[in-house]
Amino acid sequence: MEVARQARAHVARLDLSTAQVAVLDDQAHTARALWNLLHEFSTFRQGRLASVKECDTAIRAARREIDWMGRLPAQAAQAVLRTYRQAWANFFNPAHPAGRPTFKSRPRTRPAVDVPQARDLNITRLNRRWGAVSLPKVGRVRFRWTRDLPGVTRGGPAGRITGARLVKDAFGWQIVFRAERQVPAPVARPGPGVGIDRGITVALVLSDGTMRAHGEWLTSGEKERLRRLEKTSARQRRTRVPGRPASRRLARTYDRIARLRATAKRRAVDWQHQTTTELARTFGVVVVEDLRITNMVRTAKGTVERPGRNVRQKAGLNRAITGQAWGRTVTLLEYKTRDRGGLVVKVPAPGTSQTCHRCGHRDPAARDGTRFSCVNPACGWAGHADTNAAINIRNAAGTAVSGRGDLGAARSAKRQPPRAA
């Protein structure tokens, strides 16, 4: 039987002491500062980027001359360099949507530290609920054991742990294990095809007439708590002196708001995982629209000379689209369908919601909210507008386009190395 290597990530919560949290916080801030130093060293040159060797020499010199640079383990510093160089490689790749690397600000940067070598982790299982891992300059740390790790659990899945990454969110520090599993190679399987229309009122509408909907991510009590906290933060911001750090009370309010929003995101991601797994198991070919989501959520404010119209309504629509995370849904579908021998096809989006799937007549007036009524007298089909769009998406599978479309070619002209003035 042919065996394939499958790269996956496994997230686990760390159980840290106060002193260990402080050590990881310092490492994360040092890693961010190192990124900014690398960006300044690489870009402010005479028309060329610094080479890897030049950057590595500069990092070694900085670690000898600057005391606080020693807070970050040497391997983690090298990981920052590799990540920075990969960011430039992605920018110069016309097929990649990444933008130009920039400086990282402290408030907007997610704290993270890389542990690129798995040999120093020494992962062991303590009991049914907890495991232990060794972290550089931190020591032995417990983590929540929720899944067997390849190469660690006796009798568990075949494979190995290739490294880890420490990430901090609103709930604290977590460890993301990079796992490489050995699984049977996927075999192309015949299966029914389905078109999926992503919406706001209903999250996913399928061409077979079924729907995949979800409720609110926060309860009524959580929503009320979030509303009160946002009012509190607005009141506390009014007394803040511009240019001065936020007060401890305002920082605590921000932390509480972040935890509630992180709770909503976790519930949304959990629903997306369960739904996409069910779809990948059921259908062999999944057809979706090739949406330009970034363009869809652009602001409508306009300029001073040409102010926008219906700005508040457009802002609400943008929040609704962003809250559905359409791009993440397709990303999950792609790898889950591929692992099961299926295929995800992207088709052009224009006209799918205005065209009758039965007769092919296209008229914007045919759609009224969630109701579609064909205006062609010879047809007259009526039904749910999203179901009609999903059928059109499924029928358009023969006109598949690249997932990136012409976006990469349009940006290729901008992806040039920095030139001397």
Distances (CA, A) of 156 to 132, 148, 153, 181: 17, 6, 5, 11
Q: What is the mean pLDDT of the chain?
A: 84
Q: Within a 13 Å sphere around the CA of 98, how many CA atoms are in the beta-carbon half?
A: 14
CA distance 383 to 346: 24
What is the arithmetic mean of pLDDT over 61-88? 91
Span 47-64, pLDDT tens digits: 678 888 888 998 999 888
With 50 as the cut, is the pLDDT of residue 407 above it?
no
Average pLDDT over residues 67-77: 91
Residue 397 has pLDDT above 80, yes or no: no
Helix (H) or strand (E) holding 411: helix 407-412
Inform me whether the pLDDT recorded for 246 exceeds 90. no
At residue 362, does pLDDT exceed 70? Answer: yes
159-169, strands of its sheet edge to edge: 112-115, 159-169, 172-184, 3-15, 139-144, 130-135, 124-125
- Tokens matching residue 408: 């990469």
Distance of alpha carbon 137 from alpha carbon 23, whole angstroms:
8
Do you know the residue count of the chain?
421
Q: Which residue has the higher pLDDT, 43 or 11?
A: 11
Residue 415 has pLDDT above 60, yes or no: no
The packing angle between helices 326-339 and 311-324, to 10°, is 20
Task: Give Dmax over CA atoms of the chain in angstroms.
Answer: 81
pLDDT at 303: 65
Distance, CA of 360 to CA of 118 (rounded, Å)? 57
Q: What is the pLDDT of residue 18?
A: 94
Q: Report d(CA 154, CA 75) in Å as an integer.
A: 29
CA gap 175, 143 in Å, rounded: 8
Interatomic CA distance for residues 89 and 169, integer angstroms? 27
In the prediction, which pLDDT does 71 show?
Answer: 92
- Residue 343 pLDDT > 50, yes or no? yes
Distances (CA, A) of 247 to 95, 107, 239: 44, 14, 10
pLDDT one-digit tens code per residue, 199-225: 888 889 898 888 898 989 999 999 999
Output the CA torsion 303→309→313→314 (10° steps): -50
DSSP string, 251-262: HHHHHHHHHHHH
